[in-house]
C-alpha cells in the first residue's frame, strides 16, 4: 500500500477518506523508504553505542519510579500550594493509592520503554533515512508525557486535572505524528488530538458545572459535599464521556487504531499503559461522583461491554500486528470500564487491578510486535510471518508469557483480571455474566492467533532483518513478561495497591479484594474453565468463524463512528473553504465582515443606553457663523469626493475636506489638532500625488467606468445613505448626552499641566501623562512608514 507524500495538512481528511472502508485499519502501514529528507545530516546508523538520550530518559524515569515507590511505601504525601487564590485554585497533588498506581505504571513502564526505544528508534530512523538527531524531540515529548501522567495521577483539583489531561494530548499528538513525512502518521495524530481534545472540553464543562454547584474545583471537597441530583448526573456523565474517549471506548475508539502510525515504543507506552489509562484514571478519580448516578454506571457498563465485544471481534480479523493489539486495547479497556460500571468494591478495586495487569502484558506485546517487525525488515503482516520462534526464542517465550497474561491464563497476573471481572459480573445476574465472559473468550482467540501466526508454523519468507536482536530490544520485553508472571504468583503487592486504589475510588470506603488461587468448583473458576474451552475451540476453528467477524469488522469500519468523524471533518473543511471564498476573496465582503458586526454591536449598545431620545439641537449664535461655514465646506467637499473621475481632482477634493476640518478644529479651540491636521493633510496630498504619478493617467477614470455593474448602481448609494443616517443617530445621541456632574478628568489634567512644565495642556497629556502610549504610537507610525518607503521604492523599480 502506498501513500502520497502530501505536504498540506488541511488535506488530511481527503487523504484519509480516499481509503476509508475496509482498508481503514491497515492504513498505518509503513511507506518504506518514503524518503524523509535528511536535511544534510547523515541518516541514523542502526548500530553504534546506545543512544545517550535514551539512557538519560530511562534513568530519569527509573529514578522517578524509585522516588514514587519510596514515597508511597512511606505513606504517600501531598503538596498543596496556592495557584490562583482569588479563583480558589490550588496546586494540590496527593500521592494516594490511586495516584501511586498510575504514577508507578507511568514511570516504571516508561523506564522500560525508554530502554527499548534506544535501539528501536535508531533502527526506525535509519530505516527511513532520517538523521539520528530526530530522536531528541521523541524523548522530550515522551518525558513530557511521563511528567503529565504523574501530574494527572496525583492532581486533586479538577482544573489541574484538565491541564495535565490536555498536556498528555499535546505530547501524544507529537509522538503519534513522529513520522511527519507520512500522511497516515499526522492524520492519525490529528485524529487522536481532535477526539481526545474535543471530549476534553466535556471534562472542563463538567468541572465548571461542579464548581458552580459546590463553589470549588477541589475534588476532595466536592466529593465530601456531593449530593445526588440531575446536575451531578449531568456533570458526572460529561466527565465520564471525556474518560471514555481517552480510553478509546466505543464509539470513540477509532482514534486508537489510527494512532498505530506512531513508532512502536510510543504505542507500547501511550497506547497500553499511559494515554488510554488516563481515561480510566479519570473515571477512578471521580468515581465517588459517578457512582451517585445509576444511569452513569449503567452507561459505562454498556459502553464497556460494547467495546469488549467489538474490539475483540475486530482484533480477530486484523492482519497487521499493531492493529490486532490496538483493537485488543479497546477491548481490554472495555473490561475496566465495565468493571467500574458494575460498581461496588469489586468493580472499583477490580478496575484498578486490571489496569496494572493489562498495562504490563500489553506493553510487552507491543514491544514484541516492534522487535518482530524490526527483525523482519519491516514486515508487520501476520500472513507473511511465521516460525519466528527459531530465530528469536527469547522474544517468543516472553511473548507467550505476555499473551498468556492478556488471555488470563493461570499463574499470570492476567488470571485475576478475568476472575475479578467474573466475580463482579456474577452479582448482576447471568445475562451480564455471559456477556462479560464473551470478552475473555475472544481475547484468548485473537491473542492466540497473534502469537501463533508470528512464532509457530513455518516462515513464509526468509527473515531479511538483522540476524540477532540487540539485548536492549529483547530484555525490556522479558522484564515486563516476568513481572506479569511474578505478580501472578506473588499477588500481595498488586492486590493491596489495587484494593487501596479502589478504596480511594469509593471515597474512602474499604474495598476488599481477595486475590488467590482456589482449586475448587467455585463459580469464577467454572466460568474461567468454560472460557478456556470456548476460547481454545474458537482459536482452533477460527478460520471458519472468520467471515462472520470480517463482515462485522467491515460494517463497523464502513458505517462506524470513524465515518462520522471523517465526514464532519470534511464538512468543516468545506464550510471553511466556502467562508474563505465568500469573505476573503472580495475586499468589499471583507470590509463588510468587519463593519456589519461592528454596526450591529454599536446598535445594540445604542439601544441599550438611556441617551436614546435625549437629542438636543444645541445652541447656535452669531459668533458660531464661521464655524458653521467651515463645517458646511467640509461636508460639501466630502460629498464632492464621491464624484471625480480624475486622480488630481480626487486628491484636491479630499484635501479641501481635510483642510476645512482643520479650520473647524482651530475654531473649536483645538489649535494643536488643527496644526497636526494641516500637516497630515499636506503630507497626504503629496503622498497621493506621488503614488498617482507612478500610475498611468486615467486609471481611475477607466476603473470608474468599468466597474459599476447595474446591480450595484443603486445598492452603493443606498448603503452609503443608511450608514450616514446610522452615524448621525449614533453621533448625535452621543454628543447630546449631558455633561456629567462632579469633577472631570480634563479639569484635573489642566491643573496638573504646570507640574509637567508645559504651557500647552494637550502637549503635556501626550508627552507626559500618556507618554508611553505616545511612544508606542510613534513606533507604530515608524513601522508603517518603513513599509511605505519599502513599497514605494519597489513600486518605482518595477
Partner 1 sequence: MTLLVSVVVAIVFGSGCYLLLKGDLFRVVAGTVLISNAAVLTLVGAGFTRGAAPIRPFPPGSEVSDPLVQALALTALIIGFGVTALLLTLAARVYASSRTVDLDQLSQIEATREDELEEAEA
Q: Is 586 in the site for partner 1 (CB under 8 A)?
A: yes
DSSP state of 581: I
Binding track over 183-222 against partner 1, x by CB under 8 A: ----------------------------------------
**383 Cβ neighbours under 8 A, 6+ residues apart:** 319, 453, 460
Report the residue from 80, 583, 616, 751 that binds partner 1 according to the rule CB under 8 A. Answer: 616
Pick out residues in 423-462 that bind partner 1 (CB under 8 A).
none
With H, G, I as helix, E, B as strand and everything else as coil, classify residue 226: coil
Q: How far apart are CA 217 and CA 502, in angstroms?
A: 22
90 DSSP β-pair partners: 82
Residue 225 or 616 having the CB closest to partner 1? 616
With CB under 8 A as the contact rule, the residue among 87, 579, 598, 699 that binds partner 1 is: 699
Residue 261: CB minimum distance to partner 1, A: 22
When asked if residue 587 is in the footprint of partner 1 (CB under 8 A), the reply is yes
Residue in 721, 751, 771, 775 binding partner 1, rule: CB under 8 A: 721
Cβ-in-10-Å burial (0-12, 13-18, 19+) of 643 comes to: exposed
Residue numbers 228-287 binding partner 1 by CB under 8 A: none
Angle in degrees, CA 489, 269, 141, rounded to 5: 145
Question: Which residue's CB is nearer to partner 1, number 55 or number 640?
Answer: 640
Looking at the Cβ atoms of 84 and 687, the one nearer to partner 1 is 687
Alpha-carbon distance 790 to 787, whole Å? 5
C-alpha 320: how far from chain center: 27
Q: Taking every pair of C-alpha atoms in the chain, what is the biggest distance, in angstroms?
A: 115
Contact 451, 382 (CB under 8 A): no
Kindly tell me which of 91 and 673 has the beta carbon lying closer to partner 1: 673
Please report, as residue ranges, which positions from 633 to 692 form the binding site for partner 1 (by CB under 8 A).
Answer: 634-635, 638-639, 641-642, 647, 650, 654, 657-658, 661, 664-665, 668-673, 676-677, 680, 683-684, 687-688, 691-692
Residue-wise burial string across 312-339, b where 16 or more C-beta atoms lie within 10 A, e elsewhere:
bbbbbbbebbbbbbbbbbbbbbbbbbbb
Stretch that binds partner 1, among 131-139, 147-155, 555-563, 703-711 (CB under 8 A): 703-711
612 binds partner 1 per the rule CB under 8 A: no
Select from 735, 751, 755, 775 the one that contacts partner 1 (CB under 8 A): 735
Q: Which is nearer to partner 1, 17 or 704 (CB)?
A: 704
For partner 1, give the closer residue by CB, 230 or 619: 619
Residue choice 86, 458, 711, 798 for contact with partner 1 (CB under 8 A): 798
- Which residue lies nearer to partner 1 by CB, 136 or 715? 715
Q: Is 583 in the site for partner 1 (CB under 8 A)?
A: no
User: According to CB under 8 A, which one of 598, 734, 771, 775 is a site residue for partner 1?
Assistant: 734
Q: In the range 1-20, which residues lie near partner 1 by CB under 8 A?
A: 7-8
Question: CB 320 → partner 1: shortest distance, Å?
Answer: 29
Residue from 39, 706, 711, 743 binding partner 1 (CB under 8 A): 706
Among 13, 180, 162, residue whose Cα is nearest residue 576: 13
Q: Pick the stretch among 102-110, 114-122, 384-392, 584-592 that binds partner 1 (CB under 8 A).
A: 584-592
The distance of closest approach from Cβ of residue 404 to partner 1 in the complex, given in angstroms and rounded to an integer, is 50
Q: How far is the CB of 649 from partner 1 (least distance, A)?
A: 11
Options 66, 728, 755, 775; binder of partner 1; rule CB under 8 A: 728
Q: Which among 228, 100, 218 has a CA at the least distance from the CA of 160?
A: 218
Check if the beta carbon of residue 132 is closer than 8 Å to that of residue 51: yes
Q: Please identify, using beta-carbon distances, which residue of 37 and 489 lies nearer to partner 1.
A: 37
Contacts of 570 (CB under 8 A, 6+ apart): 13, 14, 17
585 is an interface residue for partner 1 by CB under 8 A = yes
What DSSP line would sit under 119-185, residue for residue?
Answer: HHHHHHHHHHT-BGGGHHHHHHHHHHHHHHHHHHHHB-BHHHHHHHHHHHHHHHHHHHTTSTT-HHH
Q: How far is the CB of 645 from partner 1 (least distance, A)?
A: 11
Does residue 573 bind partner 1 (CB under 8 A)? Answer: no
Scan for cell 490496538, then name that residue: 326
**742's torsion region: left (phi>0), alpha (psi -120 to 50) or beta?**
left
Q: Which secondary-structure segment (H or E) carries 280? A: helix 275-285
Kindly provide the residue ranges of all beta strands, DSSP E only, lying in 469-575, ordered along the sequence.
Answer: none
**Which among 168, 493, 188, 551 has a CA at the least distance from the CA of 360?**
493
Number of residues that bind partner 1 (CB under 8 A): 103
Q: How far is the CB of 604 from partner 1 (least distance, A)?
A: 19
Whether the Cβ atoms of residue 365 and residue 406 lie closer than 8 Å to each other? yes
Residues in region 742-761 near partner 1 by CB under 8 A: 744-746, 749-750, 753-754, 759-761
Cβ closest to partner 1, residue 128 vs residue 660: 660
Shorter beta-carbon distance to partner 1: residue 296 or 652 = 652
Interacting residues with partner 1 between 156 and 185 (CB under 8 A)? none
Q: Specify the stretch interacting with partner 1 by CB under 8 A; choose among 102-110, 362-370, 547-555, 737-745.
A: 737-745
Phi, psi of 581 (to 5 degrees): -60, -40
Q: Please, what is the minimum distance in Å from the beta carbon of residue 394 to partner 1?
A: 48
For the CB of residue 571, give the shortest distance to partner 1 in the complex, in Å. 19
36 binds partner 1 (CB under 8 A): no
Cell 464548581 sits on residue: 211
Write the CB contacts of 193 (distance below 8 Å, at least 6 apart in sequence): 169, 170, 172, 173
Query: Toward partner 1, which CB reaches closer, 544 or 794?
Result: 794
Return the residues of window 121-140 that contact partner 1 according to CB under 8 A. none
Q: In angstroms, what is the minimal distance from the CB of 199 to partner 1? A: 32
- Candidates 575, 598, 612, 708: give the one binding partner 1 (CB under 8 A): 708
From the CA atom positions of the chain, what is the Rg in Å?
35
Which CB sits closer to partner 1, 2 or 759?
Answer: 759
In the complex, the smallest distance separating the C-beta of residue 779 from partner 1, rounded to whole angstroms, is 10
**Which DSSP string corresponds to 339-394?**
HHHH-HHHHHHHHHHHHHHHHHHHHHHHHHHHHHHHHTTT--BGGG---TTTT-HH
Residues in CB range of 767: below 8 A, 6 or more apart: 756, 758, 774
- Could you give the C-alpha distances from 666 to 544, 632, 663, 683, 763, in angstroms and in order? 97, 15, 5, 19, 16
Binding window for partner 1 (CB under 8 A); candidates: 167-175, 197-205, 544-552, 706-714 = 706-714
Minimum Å gap between C-beta 670 and partner 1 is: 5
**Rounded CA gap, 243 and 167, in Å?**
15
Q: List the one residue from 510, 703, 751, 771 that touches partner 1 (CB under 8 A).
A: 703
Beta pairing partners, 157: 218
Smallest separation (angstroms) from partner 1 to the CB of 641? 6
Figure out which of the listed residues 489, 551, 694, 775 binds partner 1, where binding follows CB under 8 A.
Answer: 694
Which DSSP state fits 768?
I
Distances (CA, A) of 449 to 327, 355, 400, 535: 14, 23, 12, 11
Give, as ranges, the residues between 757 and 796 that touch partner 1 (CB under 8 A).
Answer: 759-762, 765-766, 770, 773-774, 777, 780-781, 784-785, 787-788, 791-792, 794-795
Least CB distance to partner 1 at residue 694 (A): 6
H-helix or E-strand spanning residue 538: helix 523-559
Considering the complex, state which of residue 40 and residue 618 has its C-beta at the smaller distance from partner 1. 618
Minimum distance, C-beta of residue 128 to partner 1, in the bound complex (Å): 23
**Distance from C-alpha of 332 to C-alpha of 282, rounded to nearest angstrom:** 17
Amino acid at each position: 500500500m502506498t501513500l502520497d507524500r502530501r505536504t498540506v495538512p488541511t488535506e488530511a481528511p481527503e487523504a484519509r477518506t480516499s481509503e476509508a472502508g475496509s482498508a481503514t485499519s491497515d492504513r498505518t502501514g509503513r511507506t518504506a523508504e518514503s524518503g524523509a529528507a535528511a536535511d544534510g545530516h547523515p541518516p541514523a546508523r542502526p548500530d553504534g553505542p546506545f543512544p545517550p538520550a535514551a539512557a538519560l530518559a530511562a534513568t530519569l524515569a527509573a529514578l522517578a519510579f524509585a522516588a514514587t515507590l519510596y514515597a508511597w511505601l512511606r505513606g504517600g504525601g501531598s503538596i498543596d500550594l496556592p495557584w490562583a487564590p482569588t479563583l480558589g485554585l490550588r496546586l494540590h497533588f496527593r500521592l494516594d493509592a490511586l495516584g501511586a498506581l498510575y504514577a508507578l505504571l507511568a514511570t516504571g513502564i516508561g523506564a522500560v520503554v525508554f530502554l527499548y526505544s534506544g535501539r528501536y528508534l535508531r533502527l526506525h530512523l535509519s530505516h527511513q533515512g532520517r538523521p539520528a538527531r530526530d530522536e531528541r524531540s521523541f524523548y522530550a515529548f515522551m518525558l513530557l508525557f511521563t511528567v503529565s501522567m504523574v501530574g494527572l495521577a496525583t492532581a486533586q483539583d479538577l482544573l489541574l486535572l484538565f491541564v495535565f489531561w490536555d498536556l498528555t494530548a499535546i505530547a501524544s499528538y507529537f509522538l503519534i505524528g513522529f513520522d511527519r513525512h507520512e500522511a497516515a502518521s499526522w492524520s492519525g495524530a490529528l485524529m487522536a488530538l481532535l477526539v481526545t481534545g474535543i471530549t476534553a472540553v466535556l471534562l472542563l464543562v463538567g468541572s465548571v458545572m461542579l464548581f458552580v454547584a459546590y463553589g470549588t474545583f477541589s475534588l476532595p471537597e466536592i466529593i465530601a459535599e456531593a449530593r445526588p441530583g440531575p446536575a451531578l448526573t449531568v456533570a458526572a456523565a460529561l466527565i465520564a464521556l471525556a474518560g471514555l474517549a481517552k480510553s478509546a471506548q466505543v464509539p470513540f475508539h477509532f482514534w486508537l487504531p489510527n494512532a498505530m502510525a506512531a513508532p512502536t515504543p510510543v504505542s507500547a507506552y501511550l497506547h497500553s499503559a499511559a494515554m488510554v489509562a488516563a481515561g480510566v484514571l479519570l473515571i477512578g478519580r471521580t468515581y465517588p461522583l459517578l457512582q451517585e448516578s445509576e444511569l452513569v454506571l449503567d452507561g459505562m457498563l454498556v459502553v464497556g461491554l460494547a467495546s469488549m465485544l467489538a474490539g475483540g471481534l475486530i482484533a480477530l480479523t486484523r492482519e497487521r500486528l499493531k492493529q490486532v493489539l490496538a483493537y485488543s486495547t479497546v477491548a481490554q479497556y472495555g473490561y475496566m470500564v465495565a468493571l467500574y460500571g458494575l460498581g461496588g468494591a469489586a468493580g472499583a478495586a477490580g478496575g484498578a487491578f486490571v489496569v496494572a495487569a493489562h498495562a504490563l502484558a500489553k506493553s510487552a506485546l507491543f514491544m514484541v510486535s516492534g522487535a518482530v517487525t524490526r527483525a523482519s525488515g519491516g514486515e508487520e503482516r501476520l500472513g507473511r510471518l511465521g516460525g519466528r520462534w527459531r530465530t528469536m526464542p527469547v522474544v517468543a517465550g516472553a511473548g507467550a508469557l505476555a499473551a498468556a497474561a492478556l488471555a488470563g491464563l493461570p499463574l499470570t497476573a492476567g488470571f485475576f483480571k478475568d476472575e475479578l471481572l467474573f466475580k463482579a459480573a456474577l452479582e448482576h445476574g447471568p445475562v451480564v455474566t455471559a456477556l462479560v465472559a464473551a470478552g475473555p473468550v475472544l481475547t484468548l482467540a485473537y491473542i492466540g492467533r497473534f502469537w501463533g501466526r508470528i512464532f509457530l508454523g513455518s516462515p513464509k519468507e526468509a527473515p531479511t532483518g538483522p540476524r540477532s536482536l540487540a539485548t536492549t530490544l529483547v530484555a525490556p520485553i522479558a522484564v515486563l513478561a516476568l513481572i506479569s508472571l511474578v505478580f501472578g504468583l506473588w499477588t500481595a503487592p498488586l492486590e493491596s495497591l489495587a484494593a487501596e486504589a479502589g478504596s480511594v475510588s469509593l471515597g474512602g470506603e474499604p474495598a476488599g479484594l481477595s486475590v488467590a488461587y482456589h482449586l475448587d468448583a467455585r463459580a469464577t473458576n467454572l466460568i474461567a474453565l468454560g472460557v478456556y474451552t470456548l476460547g481454545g475451540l474458537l482459536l482452533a476453528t477460527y478460520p471458519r468463524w472468520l467471515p462472520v467477524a470480517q463482515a462485522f469488522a467491515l460494517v463497523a469500519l464502513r458505517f462506524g463512528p470513524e465515518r462520522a468523524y471523517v465526514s464532519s471533518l470534511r464538512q468543516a473543511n468545506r464550510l471553511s473553504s466556502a467562508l474563505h471564498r465568500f469573505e476573503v476573496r472580495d475586499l468589499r465582503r471583507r470590509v463588510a465582515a468587519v463593519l456589519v458586526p461592528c454596526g450591529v454591536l454599536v446598535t445594540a449598545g445604542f439601544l441599550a443606553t438611556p441617551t436614546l431620545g435625549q437629542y438636543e439641537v444645541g445652541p447656535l449664535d452669531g459668533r458660531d457663523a464661521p464655524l458653521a461655514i467651515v463645517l458646511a465646506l467640509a461636508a460639501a467637499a466630502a460629498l464632492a469626493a464621491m464624484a471625480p473621475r480624475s486622480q488630481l481632482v480626487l486628491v484636491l477634493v479630499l484635501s479641501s475636506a481635510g483642510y476645512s476640518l482643520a479650520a473647524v478644529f482651530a475654531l473649536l479651540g483645538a489649535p494643536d489638532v488643527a496644526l497636526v491636521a494641516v500637516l497630515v493633510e499636506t503630507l497626504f496630498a503629496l503622498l497621493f500625488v506621488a503614488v498617482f504619478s507612478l500610475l498611468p493617467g486615467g486609471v481611475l477614470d477607466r476603473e470608474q467606468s468599468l466597474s459599476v455593474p447595474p446591480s450595484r448602481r443603486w445598492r452603493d448609494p443606498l448603503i452609503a445613505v443608511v450608514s450616514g443616517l446610522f452615524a448621525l443617530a449614533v453621533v448625535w445621541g452621543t454628543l447630546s448626552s449631558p455633561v456629567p456632574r462632579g469633577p472631570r478628568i480634563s479639569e484635573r489634567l489642566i491643573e496638573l499641566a504646570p507640574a509637567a512644565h508645559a504651557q500647552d495642556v494637550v502637549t503635556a497629556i501626550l508627552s507626559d501623562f500618556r507618554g508611553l502610549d505616545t511612544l508606542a504610537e510613534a513606533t507604530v507610525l515608524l513601522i508603517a512608514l518603513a513599509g511605505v518607503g519599502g513599497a514605494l521604492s519597489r513600486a518605482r523599480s518595477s
